[in-house]
A and B are shown apart, each in its own frame.
Chain A
């Protein structure tokens, strides 16, 4: 499998504090790569750097063989990447429909295509139709997460960066959320980089796992290999 998105020797941080140190990682075409690690390991910083939300100190971000280090999120979105950020990726004062409309406008989806895109997302995550006219601030955690993922899908990305979608969700709700994403990924060959603390659930849908500690990758393998590694499983 060829790499679609890579971080090569990435070093970055906040102020004087280094968060990522000479880190390299590759997301392959059509795979779900799960990235696990404790709080403060640098997972979210990596996601932000890959999506142009945080500057790379040194090293490169490479998209399908081309360097895109420092590219804006909009430029990356136009090249087929979407990100679902950690926490509630919604605007509480906007309705779900407004969030979808603004999300499509922001990445330049032509007006004529927007209704079809919205209908497609409502097909993938049908439960959103029940609350699409509500203000997002009134939604439950699970509903908000679905809207956040739905908004990311509206740009029809080929690469999806999911940053801890399970936060604040009950395990059953998380499973319900992951199932349609896995189905869509298999159907459309999406490449997904999934950062998760809920390791057991995340491994069920992942093809490969990388473990991160203090800004570095310390282990890489198949989900089954991680499950067999008692020491790592106890840690995470």
Chain B
């Protein structure tokens, strides 16, 4: 039953990866900004939730505060870091270095405030129960999968059915044309950052409740988000979701054959395979507009 156990754990991991990757994909797809500090938003949200728990504020206020922190961080990055670089026509590489630098700053500030050691929150939600003989699942796994489904469906509805959602889908095609329509691309960009950053919150909260936190977690989150965005197809939010699940499942199922320290290598192996066999990604369009 090892494979079933690893599949269920993989689905839980994949659900968290999927939402985080969808957030990155939404930001990159709409703004074309390589927001490497997306992992820092995850760390920030997770530690704000951890702080709220240790301060005895309760789970719901903790989640709300974590969401506000992640969204504020995303919007601040857009307005205070990326917008000035774009105004001066800075290169893609300048944006990347600035974003990478902010990620390091966040990691160090969080490390100074909360310490660099591993922390976790005790919760009955993370206590595994026997589903059948030899297969243990924590309630957090079902919550993670349900969260991925609900948040993704809500995001799709938002992007397809609302005017702001349509404008976000249009933004990636041409910010200049967005202005011709009478809309403000900078405002739309901030909305993309706020939404994309909010999508790290379920993963951040469940990581705090489940496997635990350390300030360097952002690098792994960013690696997974980037890999899922490329594997799923750049600009495809649905692709990022599927790829997040694929990576989560692969990372866990690989444990059947490889030791756990190889889990990131599995992510890269999948990434390279997709790049070689299907450069546009699983759901990407091969041709440019």
What number of A residues sit within 8 Å (CB to CB) of B?
Answer: 23
B289 lies within 8 A of A92 (CB): yes
A106 at the interface (CB under 8 A from B): yes
B180 lies within 8 A of A94 (CB): no
CA distance A90 to B174 in the complex (A): 9
Which of A17-25, A28-36, A97-105, A211-219 lies on the face that meets chain B? Answer: A97-105
B169 lies within 8 A of A83 (CB): no
List residues 150-207 of chain B with CB under 8 A from any CB of chain A. 163, 166-167, 169-170, 172-174, 176-177, 179-184
A98 lies within 8 A of B182 (CB): no
A91 lies within 8 A of B169 (CB): yes
Supposing A85-B177, A89-B177 touch, asked if A106 and B169 sit within 8 A by C-beta, the answer is no
Of the candidates B173, B179, B182, the one whose C-beta lies within 8 Å of that of A91 is B173
Of the candidates A89, A94, A107, the one whose C-beta lies within 8 Å of that of B182 is A107
B236 to chain A, nearest CB (A): 11
Of the candidates A74, A94, A107, the one whose C-beta lies within 8 Å of that of B170 is A94
List residues 66-122 of chain A with CB under 8 A from any CB of chain B. 72-74, 77, 83, 85, 89-94, 98, 101-103, 105-107
A53 at the interface (CB under 8 A from B): yes
A152 to chain B, nearest CB (A): 9
A7 to chain B, nearest CB (A): 18
CA distance A92 to B116 in the complex (A): 47
Q: Which residues of A contact B167 (CB under 8 A)?
A: 102, 106
Of the candidates B172, B176, B181, B289, the one whose C-beta lies within 8 Å of that of A106 is B181
A91 lies within 8 A of B174 (CB): yes
Supposing A101-B163, A101-B166, A137-B289 touch, asked if A106 and B182 sit within 8 A by C-beta, the answer is yes
Q: Which residues of B contact A83 (CB under 8 A)?
A: 180
B183 lies within 8 A of A74 (CB): yes
A102 lies within 8 A of B170 (CB): yes
Q: Which residues of B contact A91 (CB under 8 A)?
A: 169-170, 173-174, 177
Of the candidates B176, B181, B184, the one whose C-beta lies within 8 Å of that of A102 is B181
Q: Which residues of A contact B179 (CB under 8 A)?
A: 53, 73
What number of B residues sit within 8 Å (CB to CB) of A?
Answer: 17
Supposing A98-B166, A101-B163, A102-B163 touch, asked if A92 and B182 sit within 8 A by C-beta, the answer is no
B170 lies within 8 A of A51 (CB): no
A77 lies within 8 A of B182 (CB): yes
List residues 251-289 of chain B with CB under 8 A from any CB of chain A. 289
A73 lies within 8 A of B180 (CB): yes
Q: Which residues of B contact A89 (CB under 8 A)?
A: 177, 180
Q: Which residues of A contact B169 (CB under 8 A)?
A: 91, 93-94
Q: Which residues of B contact A98 (CB under 8 A)?
A: 166
CA distance A53 to B173 in the complex (A): 17
Nearest A-chain residue to B166, judged by Cβ: A102
CA distance A74 to B167 in the complex (A): 15
B100-118 contact mask (Cβ, 8 Å, vs A): 1 or 0: 0000000000000000000
Q: Which residues of A contact B177 (CB under 8 A)?
A: 85, 89-91
CA distance A51 to B182 in the complex (A): 10
Nearest A-chain residue to B163, judged by Cβ: A105
Supposing A91-B174, A98-B166, A102-B167 touch, asked if A51 and B180 sit within 8 A by C-beta, the answer is yes
CA distance A90 to B167 in the complex (A): 12
Nearest A-chain residue to B183, judged by Cβ: A106
Q: Which residues of B contact A93 (CB under 8 A)?
A: 169-170, 172-173
CA distance A77 to B177 in the complex (A): 14
B182 lies within 8 A of A74 (CB): yes
B220-245 contact mask (Cβ, 8 Å, vs A): 1 or 0: 00000000000000000000000000
Nearest A-chain residue to B171, judged by Cβ: A91
Q: Which residues of B contact A90 (CB under 8 A)?
A: 177
B106 to chain A, nearest CB (A): 33
Of the candidates B170, B173, B180, B289, the one whose C-beta lies within 8 Å of that of A85 is B180
CA distance A92 to B289 in the complex (A): 7
Q: Which residues of A contact B170 (CB under 8 A)?
A: 91, 93-94, 102
List residues 139-156 of chain A with CB under 8 A from any CB of chain B. 151
CA distance A63 to B183 in the complex (A): 21
B150 to chain A, nearest CB (A): 24
CA distance A94 to B161 in the complex (A): 12
Which 8 residue pairs across A and B have the least CB separation, nearest first? A74-B182, A91-B170, A105-B163, A92-B289, A106-B182, A106-B181, A91-B173, A102-B166
6 pairs of residues in contact across A and B, judged by CB atoms under 8 Å: A53-B176, A73-B181, A77-B182, A85-B180, A93-B172, A137-B289
Knowing that A51-B180, A94-B170 touch, tell me 15 more A-B residue pairs with CB under 8 angstroms.
A53-B176, A53-B180, A72-B182, A73-B180, A73-B182, A74-B182, A74-B183, A85-B177, A85-B180, A89-B177, A92-B173, A93-B170, A98-B166, A102-B170, A151-B181
